[in-house]
Amino acid sequence: MLNQVVLVGRLTDDPKVEESENGTKYSTIVLAVQRTFKNSEGIYEADFIRCRLWNAIANSTSEYCHKGDIVGIKGRIQVSNYDDEDGNKKYMTEVIAEKVTFLTSKKEEEKEEK
């Protein structure tokens, strides 16, 4: 069986590193991935995909990436569930990143600013 995802998109916010109860560092980011087709109004829509990064990947992404940067993510889909305040079961789907590639370079950003 295979559970593998490859995404390329833009960060919707600056990545921030947090620490879990057991001391493991992680970051939760949202990647805006543009669809390959236009809608009925001629506009490209995007999917906003939640991704979880752990340890060194979370640290380096937080250090080098900012809102709007393009990144590539290779990982797997994970579905977890929890009970809300009313006792209803809620499901959350996210991508667990195994590798992050920084696709926006500083040189490209400097060219765009000039």
For the stretch 65-81, pLDDT in tens is 999 999 999 999 999 99
Which residue carries 């000039």 as its tokens?
Answer: 114
Kindly indicate the confidence band of residue 97, based on its pLDDT and cuts at 50, 70 and 90.
very high
Kindly indicate the confidence band of residue 104, based on its pLDDT and cuts at 50, 70 and 90.
confident
Enter the pTM of the model: 0.83
Per-residue pLDDT, 4:
97
CATH topology for 5-113 is OB fold (Dihydrolipoamide Acetyltransferase, E2P) (2.40.50)
Instruction: Read off the tokens for 42.
Output: 């001629």
DSSP H/E element including 111: helix 106-113
Mean pLDDT, residues 46-60 taken together: 97
